[in-house]
């Protein structure tokens, strides 16, 4: 399909797409939109970054726009379930964007914040409701949401939902959906438990597959850098100070790790902030906004952010910690190289993480190339150069990967620590220290 006119969407929707400069439907859109417009159920294998939000939003807006019904209090006509608040917010934003010329009300509800405003908005009524499963169930159980008028049900990122332990909630929600409905089901992967769930939800679906792995990975230059755990921060600073790093997303395994790392980067003069599940919704939104508006150049995140972040122009993704779940790798690096752009994904791999790296390579079906300066196994005599705060490296991150020696702009005596001979020499103790040790013994 070459252009959106062929999809025969309502004029207001077409106009909104023109505003967004969307000219050609992405593969998931050209395959999923036509059957969805005919009212068919769809099973879509695609991940974020492929344009799948529009693939389900456009048919919904087209359908509801044509009906021109008033929004009834508590009774949405379309329901989209998403695993995280960030993703739910982005989906709601997309509905607002694509539906800006329609008289359509959309609402997003998620946990972790007071429900008062959400309940008030539900009383006013919304055509389209985007929700995370826990809060949706809560509000349904309190009678604030009734699904008896529902026409379209969308389950987005189904595999992620199950990974996050939402299956019991999902089952409860599914039993309360009306029988007469259209269902659109999206997942990045289709393992057996997801296929089972899709069979429960979908009637005679059209299957659409946009081979997510190749989409997210092909355009992304991936490298693994073998490095000892204790050296990761110095290596990260070196990478982030490279000339071509415009916006970088750095992943850590733990929330505490994300906080500490962001603080250390800030202390060394790099504009960074952290985002993870322990932060309040307001703080998460503020962090995302600062990153979007380029007030900070580095966002340190845990996996909770890996699927929800839709920010164009992320030039680098750095796996400060190799993810233990191989599928997270695909999702993390998919935050760069979005909408056809190129991107660089670097994974810092310590000796203890090599098993995790192998699992990733098995999943993606190829070896992640090793950066020339950091071959595996290496390390002892090949430590990365330390940088003092404020020192600049006038190289590109690609030359770090390909082994070109970085040119330092400022002298840094701490670099001597990387001289193996110097490192091995035992430190001379002062006379006083020797005495104290003797006394203790």
Residue 92's nearest CA partner among 105, 102, 74, 103 is: 105
Q: Of 241, 427, 400, 227, which is closest to residue 321 (Cα–Cα)?
A: 227
Does residue 95 touch ligand AMP according to CB under 6 A? no
Name which of 92, 89, 108 is nearest 100 in CA terms.
Answer: 92
Least separation in angstroms between residue 9's CB and ligand AMP is 12
Which residues within the stretch 308-327 sit at the binding site for ligand AMP (CB under 6 A)?
A: 310, 312
Rounded least distance, CB 67 to ligand AMP, Å: 24
Q: Where are the alpha helices (DSSP H) in 82-202?
A: 85-98, 116-124, 133-141, 158-163, 167-175, 192-201
54 binds ligand AMP (CB under 6 A): yes
Residue at token pair 């294998």 = 45
* Contact yes or no for 270/297 (Cβ under 8 A): yes
**Please, what is the Cα angle at 249 between 246 and 254, to 5 degrees?**
155
Size of the site for ligand AMP (CB under 6 A): 16
To ligand AMP, the closest distance from the beta carbon of 28 in angstroms equals: 8
User: Any contact of residue 216 with ligand AMP (CB under 6 A)?
Assistant: no
92 token code pair: 């709601």
Decide whether 92 or 231 has the Cβ nearer to ligand AMP.
92
CB of 49 to ligand AMP, least distance (A): 5
Q: Are 270 and 295 in contact (CB under 8 A)?
A: no
Find the shortest distance in angstroms from Cβ 312 to ligand AMP: 6
Binding mask 150-179 for ligand AMP (x = CB under 6 A): ------------------------------
The answer to the question of residue 49 lying near ligand AMP (CB under 6 A) is yes
Does the protein bind ligand AMP through residue 53 (CB under 6 A)? yes
Interacting span for ligand AMP (CB under 6 A) from 51-59, 116-124, 216-224, 325-333:
51-59
Pick from 324, 295, 328: nearest CA to 311: 295
Residue 54: CB minimum distance to ligand AMP, A: 5
Binding segment for ligand AMP among 43-51, 132-140, 159-167, 183-191 (CB under 6 A)?
Answer: 43-51
Considering the complex, state which of residue 74 and residue 160 has its C-beta at the smaller distance from ligand AMP. 160
Report the sign of the C-alpha dihedral through residues 19, 22, 25, 29, in that order: negative
**C-alpha–C-alpha distance, residues 29 and 36, integer Å:** 10
Residue 50 lies near ligand AMP (rule: CB under 6 A): yes
Residue 301, classed as helix, strand or coil, is strand
Residue 341 touches ligand AMP, criterion: CB under 6 A: no
**With binding defined as CB under 6 A, does residue 339 bind ligand AMP?**
yes
Residue 418 burial (CB count, 10 A): 16
128, two tokens: 């389209």
Task: Assign residue 321 a region (left: φ > 0; alpha: ψ between -120 and 50; beta: otherwise).
Answer: beta
To ligand AMP, the closest distance from the beta carbon of 170 in angstroms equals: 21
Q: End-to-end CA distance of the chain, in Å?
A: 81
Question: Is 259 a binder of ligand AMP (CB under 6 A)?
Answer: no
Closest CB 429 distance from ligand AMP, rounded Å = 59
Per-residue contact string for residues 9-28; x = within reach of ligand AMP by CB under 6 A? -------------x-xxx--
Candidates 12, 27, 44, 51: give the one binding ligand AMP (CB under 6 A): 51
> Which residue of 14, 31, 52, 201 would you call a contact of ligand AMP, by CB under 6 A?
52
The rounded distance, in Å, linking the Cα atoms of 227 and 370 is 11
Question: Which residue ranges make up the site for ligand AMP (CB under 6 A)?
Answer: 22, 24-26, 29, 48-54, 310, 312, 338-339
């Amino acid at each position: 399909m070459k252009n959106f006119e062929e999809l025969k969407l309502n004029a207001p929707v077409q106009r909104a797409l023109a505003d967004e400069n969307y000219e050609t439907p992405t593969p998931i859109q050209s395959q999923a939109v036509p059957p969805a417009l005919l009212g068919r159920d769809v099973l879509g294998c695609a991940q974020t970054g492929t344009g799948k939000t529009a693939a389900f939003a456009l048919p919904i807006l087209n359908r509801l726009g044509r009906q021109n019904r008033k929004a009834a209090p508590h009774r949405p006509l379309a329901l989209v379930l998403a695993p995280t608040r960030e993703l739910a917010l982005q989906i709601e934003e997309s509905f607002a964007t694509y539906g800006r010329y329609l008289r359509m009300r959309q609402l997003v509800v998620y946990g972790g914040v007071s429900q008062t405003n959400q309940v008030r908005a539900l009383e006013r009524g919304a055509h389209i409701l985007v929700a995370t499963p826990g809060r949706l169930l809560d509000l349904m159980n309190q009678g604030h949401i009734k699904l008896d008028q529902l026409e379209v049900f969308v389950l987005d990122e189904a595999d992620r939902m199950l990974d996050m332990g939402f299956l019991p909630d999902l089952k409860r929600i599914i039993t309360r959906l009306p029988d007469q409905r259209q269902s659109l089901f999206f997942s990045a992967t289709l393992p057996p438990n997801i296929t089972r769930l899709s069979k429960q939800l979908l009637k005679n679906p059209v299957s659409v597959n946009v081979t997510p792995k190749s989409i997210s990975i092909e355009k992304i230059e991936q490298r693994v850098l073998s490095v000892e755990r204790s050296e990761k921060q110095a290596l990260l600073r070196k990478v982030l100070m490279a000339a071509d790093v415009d916006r970088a997303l750095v992943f850590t395994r733990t929330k505490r790790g994300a906080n500490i790392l962001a603080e250390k980067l800030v202390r060394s003069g790099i504009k960074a902030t952290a985002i993870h599940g322990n932060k309040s919704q307001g703080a998460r939104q503020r962090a995302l906004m600062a990153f979007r508006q380029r007030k900070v150049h580095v966002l340190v995140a845990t996996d909770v952010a890996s699927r929800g972040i839709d920010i164009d122009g992320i030039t680098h993704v750095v796996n400060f910690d190799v993810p233990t779940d191989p599928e997270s790798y695909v999702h993390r690096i998919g935050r760069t190289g979005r909408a056809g752009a190129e991107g660089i994904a670097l994974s810092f791999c310590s000796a203890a993480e090599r098993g995790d790296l192998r699992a990733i390579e098995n999943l993606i079906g190829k070896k992640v190339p090793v950066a020339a300066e950091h071959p595996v196994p290496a390390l002892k005599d090949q430590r990365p150069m330390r940088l003092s705060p404020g020192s600049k490296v006038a190289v590109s991150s690609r030359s770090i990967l390909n082994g070109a020696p970085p040119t330092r702009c400022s002298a840094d005596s701490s670099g001597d620590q990387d001289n193996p001979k110097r490192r091995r020499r035992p430190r001379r103790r002062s006379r006083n220290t020797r005495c104290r040790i003797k006394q203790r013994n």
